[in-house]
Structure formats: structure tokens, C-alpha cells
């Protein structure tokens, strides 16, 4: 071996500290002689004398095992083979056995060692220095390939673990998405049933308004008109105040019909017509409670859909206030708060009864749905001074 080759092996030994050559030779000075020879050629060696050392050195890392036939035939030889038999799947620690026996003896040693180690080289003594060195080189080269396999196995294991973590994460995300989708489906089904309920409720409301308002006026007109007709038939004097009353009732009936028509008609509200639509909403004669609009900031909405949802949300809140608040006044207010525009319906009525969850009401759910649709948030509370405040907080970017 020339100097360049020795330098290569010395560098390789420094790079692979687990490429030690474990030497087991219990007879004479064989172990020391082989260790000195290999050390001089740049190999790292370790002489082992007992079973405890076998275990510690082999499990801590070894590149090759160099031993004599006497080591296998000793009392601890079977223990050594047991240790070799417990290697991990990627490992086949190369064995170099020095023997001087007959052919049958060498065959027996080979079979015995191969059953535990897998890679065995028999060298017949006496051997040359070059043969020993070449055999160690071949054994270490084989061991390096095993280390490469080990590294690949570890890398594959790490990749599998990473993949499992990613799959688990994606599975969790998919499960969360499925749950969210299921919740959305349930919510939409709930909204569908609520829409049907709203239709039934509005139909009932219209029927009540027709019966209690318009029908009563028309009935009164019919009675008074019949009275006037009977007077004419009997050539009696007709009172002017009766005709004036009939005219008054007819006008009231017309107003009721017009207000009902305006309530049923769906306005096409956009960004430009939001404020006029709100002013028209609060000024309707149908409301029994005074209602007014207060605009405390500029209204610069650039999305017609947002304006439409805001109008319908406020309209629902005004209707609820007129029906349930028993208030003296209702105020529709538009103001600025930090980076949000606040659209509020405020009344001075009875407020929200203690222990009542306003979020369970049908009207609140519809208004909350509209608010979330446009990226806003809805808040319903009873101020300390009394009454109820329904506020929609819309981010300024909307």
C-alpha cells in the first residue's frame, strides 16, 4: 500500500468513527500484533478480551470483526455468535476469521459464523500483511454500504413519519372542513324553514291588517252609505256630516291600502338610494310610534349588495321595534366608530327581558345572517338607560 492509499484510509477512518476493526484473539500475542499492523496502516482498531466488551464494542459501532478460530471455539464463542445474531435488519457485520485447521474444520467454522453474521472471510495462517489489509479494506467497504442502507432506512422512516404527520394534519383539516360544511348545510336548511315561517308570519300579519284596518273602514263606509241610501229612498234630509264621514273613511281606507302596498313592495336599494330609502322607511304613516333618521357621518358605500342588505336589516329591526318595543320613539342612526360604520335602530321601549337570549329569535337570526353575508357583525343589547339597540358594525373598507 503506497502513501496515497494509506492517506485515503486514514481520512476515511477519521470520517467514519464507527469503522473500527474489533480484534478478538485470546491466544498469545496475535491480537496485539494484528492491532499494531493495522494501526500502522491507518486503520482504527479495538482489542476485546471479554463478553462485556463484545457487547459494548459491537453495539457501539464496529466496521469489521477480526478474530481467530480459537475465539469461536472458546467458551464465549457461542455468546459472540448470539450477539451477532441480534443485529438490526440492515446490518451484517463482516467477519474475518484466521484459521489453520483442516478443510472440514474450516467448513464448520464457516457454517457456524455465516449462520450468525452473513458475511464471513476465512484467511488461512500464516497470512501475508497485504492479504490481511486487503481483506480488512473489502470488509470495511462492505460495511460502508451497509451504513448507507442504514441512513436510507432512517431517512425513509423520517419521511414516512413526516408523511404520516402531514396526512394526519390534512385529515384533520378535511374533517374540520366537512364539519363546517355539515354545519353550513344544517344552517341553510334552518334558514329555508325560517323563510317559510317568515312567509306564514307575513301572510298572517297582512291578514290581520286587512281585517283590523282596511276591512273595518270599508265596513263602516258600507253602513254609512246604506244609511244615506235609506234616507234618500225615504225622501229624508241627508246630513252633510254623514257624507263627510264617508269621504273621511274612504280616504283612510285608501291610506291603509297604500301603506300596505308600500310595505309589500320590495324596494331596489343600492348605494345611491340607501339614504332616501331609509328616510322613506321612517316616514311611513303606517308606524304608530314616531320614527326618525339621524345621519351623523357621511355614507360612502360602493357595493350595491351591501347597501341592500343594510336596508333590509334596518327595516327588519324597525318592524320588530314597532311590534314589540312599546316605545315612545324609534331612531335609525348612522355614525362612525373607529374604522367601522355603525347602523343602529334604537328605541326607548321595554328592552330585552332578563334571561332572554335575543340570538334565538327568528328576526335576529335573519339579521345576523345578512350581517355576516357582508362581513359585518351584529350586536343587540339593552342600554342602561332602557330600551333596545340593534347595531350593525360594518368595516370601513366595505
* pLDDT at residue 71 tops 80: yes
- If asked whether residues 150 and 285 sit together in one domain, one would say no
Q: What is the pLDDT of residue 39?
A: 92
- If asked whether residues 152 and 276 sit together in one domain, one would say no
Q: What is the pLDDT of residue 4?
A: 46
* CA pair distance 132, 210, nearest whole angstrom: 115
Residue 172 domain flag = no
Residue 99 domain flag = yes
Cis peptide before 38 (omega within 30 of 0): no
Least confident of 11-15, 138-142, 294-298, 373-377: 11-15
Three cell numbers at 81? 455468535
pLDDT greater at residue 161 or residue 226: 161
Q: What is the pLDDT of residue 398?
A: 54
Residue 113 domain flag = yes
Beta strands in 54-102 (DSSP E): 64-68, 95-99
Mean pLDDT score, 74-92: 81
Residue 164 domain flag = no
* DSSP string covering 167-199: HHHHHHHHHHHHHHHHHHHHHHHHHHHHHHHHH
- If asked whether residues 147 and 273 sit together in one domain, one would say no
CA distances from 213 to 143, 202, 219, 315, 379 (A): 101, 16, 10, 22, 34
Q: What is the pLDDT of residue 115?
A: 66
* CA pair distance 176, 393, nearest whole angstrom: 28
| Portion of the chain with pLDDT greater than 70, in percent | 82
Q: Is 99 helix (H, G, I), strand (E, B) or coil?
A: strand
Angle at the Cα of 44 from the Cα atoms of 43 and 50, rounded to 5 degrees: 130
pLDDT of 176-199, one tens digit each?
Answer: 999 999 998 888 887 777 776 766
Sequence-separated (6 or more) residues with CB below 8 Å from residue 268: 308
Confidence of residue 307 (pLDDT cuts 50, 70, 90): very high
* CA pair distance 229, 227, nearest whole angstrom: 5
Mean pLDDT score, 150-170: 93
Q: What is the pLDDT of residue 14?
A: 42
* CA pair distance 332, 343, nearest whole angstrom: 7
Confidence of residue 158 (pLDDT cuts 50, 70, 90): very high
Q: Is 219 helix (H, G, I), strand (E, B) or coil?
A: helix
Let me know how many helices (H) and strands (E) the chain has, helices first: 12, 10
pLDDT greater at residue 341 or residue 17: 341
Confidence of residue 11 (pLDDT cuts 50, 70, 90): very low
Least confident of 35-44, 251-260, 387-396: 251-260
**Sheet of strand 45-47: strand arrangement:** 45-47, 21-24, 64-68, 95-99, 120-124
* pLDDT at residue 47 tops 60: yes
- If asked whether residues 9 and 151 sit together in one domain, one would say yes
* pLDDT at residue 9 tops 60: no
Residue 26 domain flag = yes
- If asked whether residues 138 and 273 sit together in one domain, one would say no
- Nearest Cα residue to 369 out of 287, 291, 293, 312: 312
Terminal-residue alpha carbon distance, the chain? 82
Confidence of residue 357 (pLDDT cuts 50, 70, 90): low
Mean pLDDT score, 137-160: 92
Q: Looking at 116, 134, 156, which one is the last position of a domain?
A: 156
| φ, ψ (nearest 5 deg) of residue 156 | -65, -40
* pLDDT at residue 347 tops 90: yes
Q: What is the pLDDT of residue 244?
A: 79
Which CATH number covers residue 132?
A: 3.40.50.2300
- Nearest Cα residue to 19 out of 37, 45, 55: 45
Least confident of 121-130, 159-168, 360-369: 360-369
Confidence of residue 323 (pLDDT cuts 50, 70, 90): confident
CA 269, 271, 275, 279: dihedral to nearest 10 degrees?
0
Residue 237 domain flag = no
Mean residue pLDDT of the chain comes to 81
Q: Looking at 137, 156, 175, which one is the last position of a domain?
A: 156
User: Can you give the residue range of the structural domain that contains 395?
Assistant: 268-398
Residue 203 domain flag = no
Number of domains in the chain: 2
For the CA atoms of the chain, what is the radius of gyration? 49
* CA pair distance 197, 365, nearest whole angstrom: 13
Mean pLDDT score, 390-394: 94
Q: What is the pLDDT of residue 285?
A: 62
* pLDDT at residue 173 tops 50: yes
- If asked whether residues 11 and 148 sit together in one domain, one would say yes
Which CATH number covers residue 360?
A: 3.30.565.10
Residue 358 domain flag = yes
Mean pLDDT score, 107-136: 82
Q: What is the pLDDT of residue 199?
A: 67
- Nearest Cα residue to 141 out of 64, 67, 86, 87: 64
Q: Looking at 124, 141, 156, which one is the last position of a domain?
A: 156
Amino acid at each position: 500500500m503506497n502513501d496515497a492509499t494509506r492517506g485515503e484510509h486514514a481520512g476515511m477512518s477519521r470520517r467514519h468513527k464507527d469503522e473500527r476493526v474489533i480484534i478478538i484473539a485470546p491466544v498469545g500475542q496475535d491480537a496485539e500484533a494484528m492491532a499494531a499492523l493495522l494501526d500502522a496502516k491507518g486503520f482504527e482498531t479495538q482489542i476485546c478480551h471479554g463478553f462485556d466488551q463484545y457487547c459494548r464494542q459491537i453495539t457501539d459501532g464496529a466496521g469489521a470483526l477480526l478474530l481467530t478460530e480459537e475465539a469461536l471455539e472458546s467458551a464465549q464463542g457461542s455468546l459472540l455468535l448470539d450477539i451477532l445474531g441480534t443485529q438490526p435488519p440492515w446490518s451484517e457485520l463482516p467477519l474475518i476469521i484466521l484459521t489453520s485447521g483442516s478443510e472440514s474444520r474450516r467448513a464448520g467454522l464457516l457454517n457456524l459464523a455465516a449462520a450468525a453474521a452473513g458475511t464471513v472471510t476465512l484467511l488461512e495462517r500464516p497470512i501475508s500483511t497485504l492479504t490481511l489489509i486487503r481483506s480488512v479494506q473489502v470488509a470495511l467497504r462492505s460495511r460502508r454500504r451497509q451504513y448507507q442502507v442504514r441512513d436510507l432506512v432512517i431517512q425513509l422512516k423520517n419521511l414516512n413519519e413526516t408523511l404520516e404527520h402531514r396526512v394526519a394534519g390534512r385529515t384533520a383539516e378535511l374533517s374540520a372542513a366537512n364539519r363546517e360544511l355539515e354545519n353550513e348545510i344544517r344552517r341553510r336548511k334552518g334558514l329555508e324553514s325560517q323563510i317559510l315561517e317568515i312567509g306564514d308570519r307575513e301572510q298572517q300579519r297582512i291578514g290581520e291588517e286587512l281585517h283590523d284596518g282596511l276591512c273595518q273602514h270599508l265596513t263602516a263606509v258600507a253602513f254609512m252609505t246604506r244609511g244615506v241610501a235609506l234616507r234618500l229612498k225615504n225622501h229624508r234630509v241627508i246630513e252633510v256630516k254623514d257624507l263627510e264621514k264617508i269621504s273621511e273613511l274612504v280616504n283612510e281606507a285608501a291610506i291603509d291600502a297604500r301603506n300596505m302596498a308600500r310595505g309589500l313592495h320590495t324596494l331596489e336599494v343600492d348605494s345611491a338610494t340607501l339614504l332616501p330609502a331609509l328616510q322613506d322607511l321612517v316616514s311611513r304613516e303606517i308606524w304608530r310610534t314616531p320614527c326618525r333618521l339621524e345621519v351623523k357621518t357621511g355614507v360612502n358605500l360602493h357595493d350595491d349588495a351591501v347597501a341592500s342588505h343594510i336596508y333590509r336589516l334596518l327595516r327588519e329591526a324597525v318592524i320588530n321595534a314597532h311590534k314589540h318595543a312599546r316605545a315612545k320613539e324609534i331612531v335609525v342612526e348612522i355614525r362612525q366608530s373607529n374604522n367601522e360604520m355603525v347602523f343602529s335602530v334604537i328605541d326607548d321601549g321595554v328592552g330585552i327581558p332578563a334571561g332572554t337570549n335575543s340570538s334565538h329569535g327568528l328576526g335576529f337570526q335573519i339579521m345576523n345572517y345578512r350581517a355576516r353575508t357582508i362581513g359585518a357583525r351584529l350586536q343587540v343589547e339593552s342600554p342602561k338607560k332602557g330600551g333596545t339597540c340593534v347595531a350593525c358594525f360594518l368595516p370601513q373598507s366595505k
